[in-house]
Amino acid sequence: MTRTVKVAIVGCGGIANGKHMPSLSKLKHVELVAFCDVLIERAEKAAVKYGVSGAKVYEDYRELLQDETIDVVHVLTPNDSHAEITVAALDSGKHVMCEKPMAKTSAEAQTMVEAAKRSGKKLTIGYNNRFRPDSQHLHQVCERGDLGEIYFAKAHAIRRRAVPTWGVFLDEEKQGGGPLIDIGTHALDLTLWMMNNYTPKSVMGNTYHKLSQKKNAANAWGPWDPDKFTVEDSAFGFITMENGATIVLEASWALNSLDEDEAKCSLSGTEGGADMKDGLRFNGESFGKLYTTNIELGAGGVAFYDGDSESDADLEARLWIDTIIHDTEPVVKPEQAFVVTQILEAIYESAKTGKAVYFQEKSSLVTN
């Protein structure tokens, strides 16, 4: 008989209500038993809507972690507290799903990896775009080697005007950055995963605070306050990997561009290319002629996919809980997410210094 997994939620805001709690509540072997938020009314509301009978509510995550019956903690708080809460949860004997990005800094991310190894508990990061049908199919293609050696790629996270004006998104202290760490992190994770390349050599980057200073700007979620817009509005990175491969990363919340794409990548290999810019497209050469092929994805063509109603968030939650039940590795490994954080941090560092950042070893960054 499959055992029941008892899950606690730390941070009952937008991402918890929009993604994690609805998906977890659909799983028959999951019980949402505890909810924590600095605004206690949010935790209480979540407990009523998603919790089992008798679900507990907390203001302080430390009190929640004292409950030895909890198996898994989902850390869904602002970026500046990801490492602190995750490490404490792992050390208390809980498995952890932490929302992206892994942490504000690579030093914090490293403490999370070390805590997972020390505790023997599982840690994963919420890169849900890996679980989209197009991502799953493209990853299968890359794993088979159909594209050959992927030596050039672009990671796309471009919004024309979609600045999140609520919560702490514009607060650099809480978030660690703007679109680069918010949506650029998804695009970079997808790209590295497709390439199966997690050894960066150097990074050059630029960040911009151009459109953020405009008042009464057109925006999907209403105008922002320039005085509170303390993060970049766009960022761009040029990443060289140890094997010579190149990745161009582009991220914006506000940019005068019609070339909008978010959480997508373009790949160029020795045997063919692929991109997600207009559905899933493949290109290459066959019998002396160039070809372009558009792929239509249905339920039958996607790994792990077992129904038309399963969204990427639902699939992410199900496979994560399966790793707990069956003691297997999570799809998103903490060591992979750590490299994403390293590269994002290097882009910010390069933008500040105007110099390239070189990776001498995985645990340190050196600027020249």
Question: For residue 26, which of 306, 355, 340 has the smallest C-alpha distance?
Answer: 306
Q: Domain residues of the chain, as ranges?
A: 5-126, 130-307+338-367
Bridge partners, 6 (sequence order): 31
Which of the two residues, 136 and 361, has the higher pLDDT score? 136
21's tokens = 């709690």
pLDDT at 258: 95
Q: DSSP string spanning 78-105?
A: -GGGHHHHHHHHHHTT-EEEEESSS-SS
**Predicted pLDDT at 297:** 81
Q: If you average pLDDT over residues 223-236, what whole number do you get?
A: 96
Question: Mean pLDDT throughout 39-51?
Answer: 98
| pLDDT interval class at 301 (50, 70, 90) | very low
Say yes or no to pLDDT of 202 above 70: yes
**In percent, how much of the chain has pLDDT > 70?**
94
- Both tokens of 326, joined, read 């069956």
Measured between its terminal Cα atoms, the distance across the chain in Å is 58
Share of the chain above pLDDT 90, in %: 90
Mean pLDDT calculated for residue range 199-216: 96
Tell me the CATH number for domain 130-307+338-367: 3.30.360.10
Cα maximum dimension of the chain: 68
Give the up-direction half-sphere exposure of residue 350: CA atoms within 13 A in the CB hemisphere: 23
Q: What is the pLDDT, as a whole number, of residue 2?
A: 76
The per-residue pLDDT for range 112-132, each reduced to its tens digit, is 999 999 999 999 999 999 999
Instruction: Compute the half-sphere exposure of residue 255: CA atoms within 13 Å on the CB side of its CA.
Output: 21
- Stated as kind and residue range, the H or E segment containing 348 is helix 334-353
Instruction: Answer whether residue 304 shows pLDDT above 60.
Output: no
Closest Cα partner for 212 from 157, 263, 256, 259? 256
Q: How confident is the model over 76-95, as a mean pLDDT?
A: 97
pTM, entire model: 0.93
How confident is residue 149, by pLDDT bands cut at 50, 70 and 90? very high
Residue 307 has pLDDT above 60, yes or no: no
pLDDT over 60 (residue 362):
no
Asked if residue 365 has pLDDT above 80, the reply is no
Query: pLDDT at position 299, please?
Result: 46
What is the pLDDT, as a whole number, of residue 309?
60
Where is average pLDDT lowest: 286-290, 322-326, 363-367? 363-367
Going by pLDDT thresholds of 50, 70 and 90, the confidence category of residue 341 is very high
pLDDT at 211: 97
Task: Name the CATH topology of 5-126.
Answer: Rossmann fold (3.40.50)
